[in-house]
Structure 1
Amino acid sequence: MHWLDNLGERVSRRLAHRSSRRGFLNGLGKVMVASAAILPVLPVARAGNTPKLTGLDPNEIPEEEFNSCDYWRHCAVDGFLCSCCGGTASSCPPGTTASPISWVGTCHNPYDGKDYLISYNDCCGKTACNRCGCNTQTRERPGYEFFLHNDVNWCMANDNSTFHCTTSVLVGLAKN
């Protein structure tokens, strides 16, 4: 290995005799300016710049996922999803009225890892929609805890107590 050390020393000394620090810095500056002019022209993968889905806005979620019983906001819904019945996640379809009473679930959003309060409001006044029927019972309480149970006809407070569908209204973050 002694011969490799001698070769390295000879090459280093020759390079030091032929060049200066200023010349090296001058060349380095030219390379940096040239690369700054060329790099913006190169193709860039911008997939990493897309924002992470939060799952809070229904417009961010594909319709198939949003209308699925497995969607995180539907963790305690019992009924037909109004988004499949002519309404939206937070509004009743035309010809129906929201029940003034509802039940609340705490659902975990896998997109941001937080828990949210979701108010489930039944829309009343028409016959059952019979589309996108869900009966998820995450954190459901027994029937004797009336206000925490989702198997109740919440339309009983309306003039027309016929159940049509259920909305999943985001109330806010759940406080631990």
Structure 2
Amino acid sequence: MNSTKPMRQNNDDRKVNHGNSRRDSHGSYQEATHAVYNPTYTKINSRKKKKRKTDTRPPIDKASWFSILTFSWVTPLFIKGWKGTLKTEDLTVASHKDSSKMNSHRLETRWAHLLTKYGSKDASLLSALLYVMRSGVIHSTIAVTIGYVSAIVSSVSNRVP
């Protein structure tokens, strides 16, 4: 390794190189010496543009609860379909939460639990299904309830003189 001597500044605010110091291509003495002593060092102010990671998750997995409730997560697909014919490439992959592999595993696990807890005569397949699909049932119930309430409120508000 080369020995390095510290740099000092003149009155002209120019950096003066004393001795055998190492500089990187951008002229930063501190970053160059840090990179020599620490091989895992990466520059924070790199001039190279970093590639952004593309989010490959389905839109429903990125959506907020309000977006799911109002179906606004589907709007880009609706706009694309309104502008022209949809193709297979326009559709996204289904959520891993909706995959048959995951849900069949959850159902089998719940069914095995109910069989060991209640026995084959008292175990309820409906109970196992509702347990596995509980979040979907809850979301659907909330959406239907909001729909009914808004229909009642709008019909009542139209009748009031």
Normalising TM by the smaller chain, what interval?
under 0.3
Structure showing the higher helix proportion among its residues: 2
Higher RCO (CA 8 Å, separation ≥ 6 residues): 1
What is the TM-score when the length of structure 1 is the normalising length?
A: 0.23
What is the TM-score when the length of structure 2 is the normalising length?
A: 0.25
Structure showing the higher strand proportion among its residues: 1
